[in-house]
A = this chain, B = another copy of it.
């Protein structure tokens, strides 16, 4: 099946979690808003159909429109061998994904603690205070958790790669871009997570994707932003 992914064209953002699954699965997809129709095509599609998404990203697959990153990943992962088939395994994968999503949301809020309706420049001092907690307490707490779950296994569930692994990888990449000092400190206590990150990055399909022009660079419009003043 050819998929249509709808997401903002200039950033990795939440769309990147979907891209990583599609790339690892080797599935064909159109990144619609990066194509000729641009954002207008995306905004038109956002309102269409009986299951409209609240916001990008959303995915068209056959007759379905699926919004919300974690729901898209559950659908794609279970369909393309990136999730277990049994109930307990499916729920565990999804639980891990939703915990990654909580970390993503907190990473975003470091630069927009007063809300996305104001510019970063209008909330820099507040961002500094929020980021100080994030780097000192929240990154360690989340990565302690994932490091504990990973243990000595290759992937979070054990031998089987799942969509939650790809999402955790993406968060580690993002934290390395936005908070390199904080990440180095935390990963020093979790060599298994550092090895995990390398294990994912060198998978043939992902490595090809990450070095392709399809992989947008991180930048200061996305979720993970490099503001050195926030990485203490």
Contacts and interface: CB of A to CB of B under 8 A. Distances in A.
Contact of A68 (B75, B99, B113, B118): B99
Given A52-B148, A95-B67, A115 B134 contact: yes
B54 A145 contact: yes
A51 interface: yes
Interface centre among A71, A118, A148 (most CB of B within 10 A): A71
Contacts of A134: 115
A130 to B, nearest CB: 5
What does DSSP make chain A's interface, helix, strand, loop or mixed?
helix
Contacts of A168: none
Interface in A104-158: 105, 109, 113-115, 117-118, 126, 129-130, 133-134, 137-138, 142, 145, 148-149
A100 B95 CA distance: 17
A208 interface: no
Given A126-B126, A145-B54, A94 B68 contact: yes
Interface of A: 51-54, 63-64, 66-68, 70-71, 74-75, 87-88, 91-92, 94-95, 98-99, 102, 105, 109, 113-115, 117-118, 126, 129-130, 133-134, 137-138, 142, 145, 148-149
Q: Which 6 A-B pairs have the closest CB atoms?
A: A68-B98, A115-B133, A68-B95, A54-B99, A117-B133, A51-B92
26 contacts: A51-B91, A63-B88, A64-B87, A64-B88, A66-B91, A66-B92, A66-B95, A67-B95, A68-B95, A70-B70, A70-B94, A70-B98, A71-B91, A71-B95, A71-B98, A74-B91, A75-B87, A75-B91, A109-B109, A113-B115, A113-B130, A114-B130, A114-B133, A115-B130, A115-B138, A118-B133
